[in-house]
């Protein structure tokens, strides 16, 4: 057992952990970052495909207009970005019928459209009233946390098409089924990411901008000044704390420090044995933020051939398992087409052999855009539930009833343990920007607490 | 690192793990049981109070008529049992008004009574239609798993008193709020424990019979033949498996075997690092079965003085935090009075200093039964959320939507890993009897799979 001492221990080398490290580094503090995997990035993972040499983000990939913290990194490191393609006709596919339309609202029948519009307006109005710091303090918090979005949608949209649109929108944003989250969690998340429109949109929304060299590349720029502080391949298995110090133990090393930042999702914090039991609410909270299930399926083509036919690359469909697609092409002229497979569909789809998954993907793209889709240069898909140290993606979602009962424990410092991770963010929770916010907050916590 | 080899590894020395061990022992197999704590029992824990020398079960304590597996142990080991006291007047306390009544139905106003009766009848009818092996296969499974019990109760009971009764009943059975579980989970649990009446009742119900020497004592009898196989104080931190063997690692030891049985709640399985990632659905299921929060507060008196006033000791009340009480006196003439504090109340109450908790308990008992309550021989309370290796009590509850999406992964064998724990039971899930069922099942699995 290799034993050493530092001042601050950061667990997790994703955006949250690195953001915390950046602050500590700028403040001239001693720290280490301990990471379970053989790489940095966490739920951010950029790979280069073998045939096309294309850079693909199989994890988080987009940034949007009001994500100021990550934009600050973009400007500082001068990394190249590209706007997501958002012109041409979108497709809405429902019960075998394909509707082509422009803009974010499909040309469905007027009744469905009004119904959808009313439901979305209701959501926005409710979301506006949420305080993202304390969603549990809302006068209706208990009621809203006691009803699942599945129930709310059934109760508040009369038409099947509006229900489908809302369910697919939710599935795409949360990577889970509408029965898994409460109205209150949904509203918190909408407000945390500005509003529902921003969560769903490309232009002016969360899917606006891509990294030419990938989101992991930006992180690698950020860690340059302190990359010697990162210890890879060491999952932290237990944490001990007393009134003087904290000790993190992995299989091979034991690190003693003053304070520790857990830059992990709540579900992954569950893997750690806390030698001094956590406060009861915190311990129970960690059991109640399960990860979504997201799968990304990419086809890389010689060119974005769908654009020639005036398609945007954006599809919303009720066909299983491919519900939502985007054009993720960058600047090299190649076409990069992305289908998301989410929630229960992701869990089914990943069980198929890779060649079958690829074939289904190609057939599906061809169905909408023609046979050029059948000849990609590369295909890759990634299911995040496979990763022992992510347990799912994109984010952990509070279970119904949990915001009201446990919300106050989400960020509360417990002795020498500080809680980061995008799930603890108030702005853009669930996104890279939220992860950075959480890292900054915890770094400030440890600095303040160590001063006194 | 101490390394050794056996055939079967059982993780957890509660009722589930010991039941599995019993079968393996009878079959003449080699095995070890690895336990995180310094004692056997898990969520079963019997202690002897200092002043009165009274034996108290601060964990699971009752058994009921159709719990055949645990009754078999009772008969085999000839342990002494005693029927719970169930005569005299019960109390229903609502908005400051105290109603005294006999039987299980309070003398509330006729409208509330009819309302409650109709709601309970509806529950029973729905519960009857559930297949406890496959709750997700029910035609209405998706709908019922998408609505929380909080919503169902609000929608299906018109009167405030019926709602209160249902909410308190649910809270007492599940140790959580009605917003945390779905209708489907509620129905599964009712069916698994015969029906809602059986879950709530003393006579002919889950609270019928107590162990004179405690529930841990029975377990100690059962382990006698193989108690040398138990390794205490060794939380399992990681599991490796390949096509030939499985290896469990704790801080100090490494055990190699053919197969491993995890006799733990899903939430506690989360503490284990699986070196080969689990199947995705299984990994996500483990994130979705949070533990309830139950606290037991006991006062021990010279005699059960409430009986002299013709009280049963059973109270249902809307006063915070003491909602439900039982007379747990045994045969020695002492009075043992139990108040449950559940769900969010448990989380608040445990934060108070012990002397304040005791004083509140005594005042509350005195309120109903007079000042004799103020002079106990002993007071003890136990909050299970404090226990790092329980994470809560009594049981893990599937979150809304999880039965439908993940139910099929609950018991499915994953390579060399078998899944026990009362949460995996089909009969009396959440109870000691269910734990035994799960242990028996997994032992049979490993025996069958090793034969082939």
CB contact under 8 A, B399 and A277: no
Tell me how far apart the alpha carbons of residues A123 and A199 are, in angstroms, rounded to a whole number: 13
Residue A110: the pLDDT is 77
- Nearest by CB to B385, which of A180, A284, A404? A284
How far A387 CA lies from chain B's nearest CA (Å)? 7
Query: Residue holding tokens 């003890």?
Result: B380
Residue of A nearest to B406 (CA): A344
Residue of B nearest to A238 (CA): B237
Instruction: Please name the residues in contact with A67: beta carbons below 8 A apart, sequence gap of 6 or more.
Output: A428, A431, A432, A433
CB contact under 8 A, A145 and B179: yes
Chain A residues with beta carbon closer than 8 angstroms to that of B183: none
Closest by alpha carbon to A126, among A200, A179, A196, A173? Answer: A196
Q: pTM (2 decimals)? A: 0.91
What tens digit of pLDDT does each residue of A315-362 get? Answer: 999 999 999 999 999 989 999 999 999 888 887 898 899 999 999 999
Residue of A nearest to B237 (CA): A237
CB contact under 8 A, B270 and A271: yes
Q: Does domain B2-42+215-279+412-451 have CATH number 3.40.50.450?
A: no
How far A177 CA lies from chain B's nearest CA (Å)? 8
Query: Residue holding tokens 């609505």?
Result: B147
What tens digit of pLDDT does each residue of A243-254 get? Answer: 999 999 999 999
CB contact under 8 A, A280 and B388: no
Residue B99: the pLDDT is 87
Residue B333: count other Cβ atoms within 10 Å of its Cβ: 9
A6 touches chain B (CB under 8 A): no
Identify whether the C-beta of residue A343 lies closer than 8 Å to the C-beta of residue A356.
no
CB contact under 8 A, B238 and A238: no
Instruction: Please name the residues in contact with A316: beta carbons below 8 A apart, sequence gap of 6 or more.
Output: A90, A91, A92, A93, A106, A165, A168, A323, A324
Chain B residues with beta carbon closer than 8 angstroms to that of A281: 347, 385
Residue of B nearest to A181 (CA): B400
CB contact under 8 A, A287 and B182: no
Chain A residues with beta carbon closer than 8 angstroms to that of B343: 405
Query: Residue holding tokens 């893997």?
Result: A271
Tell me how far apart the alpha carbons of residues B360 and B348 are, in angstroms, rounded to a whole number: 13
How far A199 CA lies from chain B's nearest CA (Å)? 23
| Alpha-carbon torsion, ordered A374, A380, A381, A382, to 10 deg | 180
How far B408 CA lies from chain A's nearest CA (Å)? 12
Q: How confident is residue A103, by pLDDT bands cut at 50, 70 and 90?
A: confident
Tell me how far apart the alpha carbons of residues B39 and B274 are, in angstroms, rounded to a whole number: 25
CATH of A81-86+206-211+292-386, one of 3.90.660.10, 3.90.640.10, 3.30.450.20, 3.10.129.10: 3.90.660.10
| Pairing label, strands B253-257, B246-249 | antiparallel
Q: Does domain A109-200 have CATH number 1.10.630.10?
A: no
What tens digit of pLDDT does each residue of A37-53 get? Answer: 999 999 999 999 989 89
CB contact under 8 A, A180 and B402: yes
How far B294 CA lies from chain A's nearest CA (Å)? 11
Q: How many residues belong to chain B?
A: 452
Q: Per-residue pLDDT averaged across A90-96, rounded?
A: 91
Residue A338: the pLDDT is 98
Output the DSSP codes for B197-237.
HHHH-STTSTTSEEETT-HHHHHHHHHGGGGGGEE-S----
CB contact under 8 A, B290 and A287: yes
- Nearest by CB to A399, which of B291, B391, B399? B399
Q: Helices B432-451 and B15-26, interaxial angle, to 10°?
A: 40
CB contact under 8 A, A400 and B287: no
In B113-132, the residues whose Cβ lies within 8 Å of chain A are none
CB contact under 8 A, A180 and B277: no
Query: Residue holding tokens 């190649």?
Result: A334
pLDDT at A432 over 90: yes
What is the architecture of the domain spanning A2-42+215-289+399-451? 3-Layer(bba) Sandwich (3.50)
How far B361 CA lies from chain A's nearest CA (Å)? 21
CB contact under 8 A, B404 and A147: no
Closest by alpha carbon to A148, among B280, B66, B148, B57? Answer: B148
CB contact under 8 A, B290 and A147: no
Angle at B3 between CA B1 and CA B8, to 5 degrees: 135
Output the DSSP codes for A379-393.
EEEEEGGG-TTT-SS
Residue A377: the pLDDT is 96
CB contact under 8 A, B274 and A391: no
Task: Mutation target for A interface from B290, B342, B349: give the one with most A CBs within 10 A.
Answer: B290
Residue A104: the pLDDT is 67
In A367-396, the residues whose Cβ lies within 8 Å of chain B are 383, 385-388, 391-392
Closest by alpha carbon to A378, among A352, A354, A351? Answer: A354
CB contact under 8 A, B146 and A179: yes
Model ipTM value? 0.85
CB contact under 8 A, B179 and A404: yes
Task: Mutation target for B interface from A344, A399, A404, A407: give the one with most B CBs within 10 A.
Answer: A399
Question: Considering chain A, what is the average pLDDT of its residues?
Answer: 94
In A210-229, the residues whose Cβ lies within 8 Å of chain B are none
Q: Per-residue pLDDT averaged across A286-300, rounded?
A: 95
Per-residue pLDDT of chain B (452 residues; tens, 9 = 90+): 899 999 999 999 999 999 999 999 999 999 999 999 999 999 999 999 989 899 999 999 999 999 999 999 999 999 999 999 999 999 999 889 998 888 766 767 777 888 888 999 999 999 999 999 999 999 999 999 988 999 899 889 888 988 998 999 999 999 998 989 999 999 999 999 999 989 998 999 999 999 999 999 999 999 999 999 999 999 999 999 999 999 999 999 999 999 999 999 999 999 999 999 999 899 999 999 999 998 999 999 999 999 999 999 999 999 999 999 999 999 899 999 999 998 888 878 988 999 999 999 999 999 999 999 999 999 999 999 889 999 999 999 999 999 999 999 999 999 999 999 999 999 999 999 999 999 999 999 999 987 54
Chain B residues with beta carbon closer than 8 angstroms to that of A237: 237-238, 273
Instruction: Please name the residues in contact with A53: beta carbons below 8 A apart, sequence gap of 6 or more.
Output: none
Closest by alpha carbon to B439, among B134, B179, B70? Answer: B70
How distant, in Å, are the alpha carbons of A166, A175, A180, A436, B370 from that of A157?
9, 21, 18, 36, 55
How far B295 CA lies from chain A's nearest CA (Å)? 12
CB contact under 8 A, A270 and B290: no
CB contact under 8 A, A387 and B277: yes
Residue of B nearest to A149 (CA): B146
B236 touches chain A (CB under 8 A): no
């Amino acid at each position: 057992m290799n034993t050493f001492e530092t001042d601050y221990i950061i667990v997790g080398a994703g955006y949250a952990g690195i953001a915390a490290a950046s602050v500590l580094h700028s403040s001239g503090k001693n720290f280490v970052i301990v990471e379970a995997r053989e790489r940095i990035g966490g739920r951010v993972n950029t790979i280069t495909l073998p045939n096309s040499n294309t850079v693909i983000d199989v994890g988080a990939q987009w940034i949007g207009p009001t994500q100021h913290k990550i934009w600050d990194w973009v400007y500082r490191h001068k990394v190249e970005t590209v706007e997501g393609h958002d012109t041409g006709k979108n497709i809405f596919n429902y019960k075998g019928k394909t509707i082509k339309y422009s803009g974010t609202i499909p040309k469905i029948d007027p009744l469905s459209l009004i119904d959808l519009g009313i439901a979305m307006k209701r959501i926005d109005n409710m979301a506006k009233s949420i305080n993202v710091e304390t969603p549990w303090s809302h006068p209706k918090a208990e009621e809203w946390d006691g009803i699942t979005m599945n129930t709310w949608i059934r109760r508040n949209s009369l038409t099947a098409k509006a229900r489908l649109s809302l369910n697919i929108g939710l599935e795409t944003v949360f990577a889970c089924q509408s029965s898994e989250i409460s109205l209150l969690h949904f509203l918190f998340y909408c407000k945390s990411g500005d509003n529902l429109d921003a969560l769903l949109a490309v232009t002016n929304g969360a899917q606006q901008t891509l990294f030419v060299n990938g989101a992991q590349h930006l992180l690698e720029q950020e860690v340059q000044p302190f990359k010697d502080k990162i210890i890879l391949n060491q999952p932290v298995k237990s944490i001990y704390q007393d009134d003087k110090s904290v000790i993190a133990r992995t299989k091979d090393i034991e690190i003693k420090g003053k304070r520790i930042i857990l830059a992990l999702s709540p579900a992954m914090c569950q893997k750690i044995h806390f030698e001094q039991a956590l406060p009861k609410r915190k311990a129970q909270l960690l059991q109640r933020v399960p990860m979504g299930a997201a799968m990304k399926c990419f086809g890389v083509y010689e060119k974005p051939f769908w654009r020639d036919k005036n398609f945007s690359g954006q599809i919303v469909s009720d066909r299983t398992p491919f519900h939502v697609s985007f054009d993720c092409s960058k600047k090299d002229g190649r076409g990069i087409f992305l289908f998301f497979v989410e929630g229960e569909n992701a869990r089914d789809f990943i069980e198929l052999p890779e060649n079958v998954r690829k074939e289904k993907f190609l057939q599906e793209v061809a169905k909408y855009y023609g046979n050029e889709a059948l000849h990609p240069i590369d295909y890759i898909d990634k299911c995040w539930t496979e990763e022992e140290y992510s347990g799912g993606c994109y984010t952990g979602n509070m279970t119904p009833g949990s915001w009201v009962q446990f919300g106050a424990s989400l960020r509360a410092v417990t002795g020498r343990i500080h809680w980061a991770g995008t799930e603890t963010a108030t702005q853009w929770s669930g996104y890279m920007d939220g992860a950075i916010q959480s890292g900054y907050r915890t770094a400030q916590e440890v600095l303040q607490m160590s001063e006194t």
